């Protein structure tokens, strides 16, 4: 347990050390965020705020892993999952910010890359003797064998939740805070189930998110960009797959799920009604902003929901019906 705490602290300290140097560096390179005109007008003041701060998150997690977690297959796989999806986000940010193409990667390009990395992780897990095609079921002390459905289900799970975390990154501190609470769940669940090395990895994610919040809380001095949101999504889904906790993550990551579903509902309703909107704006955090909630209030309420879902998920682990 103390090693997990130490890994968390070191990741946190690394972030605090590199932040004051990295943020001015991003400003110097003019890696500024472009704010969409159709977004909430209150966000226009954020235009030019440095983005791609997710590189700091990746560096903090990677450095901590190299210090503590070398030569462990499960940690190596989790870190590679983080780096792989972070790489997709980096390319997307690079195209938008450096090449000045606002839409970044084309949708099909992003999906192809995400499905490819998801397939690699799913196949690896399915044929690994310590993982296999079984998943733990919340509130039931048993494993459910998905058999031939495991790989397609896991690919959809990975791609879906990585994009859901990405959609959640729309307010200062929202995605980093929600990801941190989900990572805390994985620290506790890994310790409970005996995945001690992955508990250290999850601790490094907690520390990186907590340290990043110092610079990302309202008013944000830096944004994580797709680089950070996809890297965090990759870290969380990798933890879920490697610990066979995919079904638990539908509870623990429920906030991300709600954000993604709100976008699906908005798009479907818009097309079915010829241009009407179900929400004032999607993802749903913008809906509450446009209803008059201050950004800080939205973030605090959504954090509270995220904490409650993490607690509910842990209850599903230790309480069996």
Condensed to tens digits (0 to 9), the pLDDT of residues 109-135 reads 999 999 999 999 999 999 999 999 999
pLDDT confidence of residue 99: 75
Question: Could you give the count of Cα atoms lying within 13 Å of 140 in the half-sphere of its Cβ?
Answer: 7
Confidence bin at 45 (pLDDT 50/70/90): low
Q: pLDDT for 243-256, tens place per residue?
A: 999 999 999 999 99
Sorting pLDDT into bands at 50, 70 and 90, what band is 98? confident
> Per-residue pLDDT averaged across 32-60, rounded?
72
Of residues 260 and 45, more confidence is placed in 260
CA–chain centroid gap for 143, Å, is 25
> Quick one: pLDDT at residue 9?
96
pLDDT (0 to 100) of residue 300: 97
Residue 72 has a pLDDT of 79
pLDDT digits (tens, 9 = 90+) for 303-317: 999 999 999 999 999
State mean pLDDT over 60-88.
90
Residue 71 labeled ligand binder: no
Q: What is the pLDDT of residue 296?
A: 95
Q: Identify the residue with better confidence: 285 or 73.
A: 285
Dihedral over Cα of 162, 21, 63, 30: its sign:
positive
Place of tokens 């079984």: 134
3-state helix, strand, coil in the chain (%, to 5): 70, 5, 25
**Residue 244: CA atoms inside 13 Å, Cβ hemisphere, count?**
22
141 is annotated as contributing to ligand binding: no
The answer to whether residue 35 scores a pLDDT higher than 60 is no
Mean pLDDT, residues 215-222: 93
Percent of the chain exceeding pLDDT 70 equals: 92
Instruction: From 14, 23, 85, select the one nearest 33 (Cα to Cα).
Output: 23
Is residue 319 very low, low, confident or very high in pLDDT (cuts 50, 70, 90)?
A: confident
Average pLDDT, stretch 152-179? Answer: 97
**Is the model's pLDDT at 48 over the cut of 70?**
no
The pLDDT of residue 44 is above 60: no
Q: What angle do CA 81, 84, 86 make, to 5 degrees?
A: 105
Does position 21 have pLDDT exceeding 80, yes or no? Answer: yes
321 pLDDT more than 80: no
Residue 50, pLDDT above cutoff 90: no
């Amino acid at each position: 347990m103390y090693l997990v705490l130490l890994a968390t602290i070191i990741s946190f300290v690394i972030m605090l050390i590199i932040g004051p140097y990295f943020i001015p560096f991003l400003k110097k390179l003019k890696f500024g965020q472009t704010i969409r005109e159709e977004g909430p007008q209150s966000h226009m003041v954020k235009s030019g705020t440095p983005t791609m701060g997710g590189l700091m998150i990746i560096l903090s997690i990677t450095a901590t892993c190299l210090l503590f977690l070398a030569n462990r297959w499960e940690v190596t796989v989790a870190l590679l999952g983080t780096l792989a999806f972070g790489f997709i986000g980096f390319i997307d940010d690079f195209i938008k910010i450096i090449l000045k193409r606002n839409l970044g990667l084309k949708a099909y390009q992003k999906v192809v890359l995400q499905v490819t990395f998801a397939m690699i992780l799913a196949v690896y897990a399915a044929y690994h003797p310590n993982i296999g095609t079984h998943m733990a079921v919340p509130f039931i002390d048993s494993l459910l064998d998905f058999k031939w459905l495991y790989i397609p289900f896991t690919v959809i799970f990975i791609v879906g939740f990585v994009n859901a975390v990405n959609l959640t990154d729309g307010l200062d501190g929202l995605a980093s805070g929600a990801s941190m609470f989900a990572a805390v769940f994985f620290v506790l669940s890994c310790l409970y189930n005996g995945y001690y090395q992955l508990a250290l990895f999850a601790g490094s994610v907690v520390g990186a998110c907590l340290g990043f919040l110092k610079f990302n809380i309202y008013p944000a001095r830096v944004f994580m960009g797709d680089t950070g949101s996809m890297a965090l999504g990759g870290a969380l889904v990798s933890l879920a797959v490697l610990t066979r906790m995919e079904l638990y993550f539908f509870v623990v990551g429920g906030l991300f799920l709600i954000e993604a579903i709100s976008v699906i509902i908005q798009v479907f309703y818009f097309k079915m009604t010829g241009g009407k909107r179900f929400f004032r704006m999607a993802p749903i955090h913008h809906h509450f902003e446009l209803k008059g909630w201050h950004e800080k209030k939205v973030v605090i309420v959504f954090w509270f929901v995220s904490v409650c879902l993490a607690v509910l998920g842990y209850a599903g682990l230790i309480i069996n019906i």
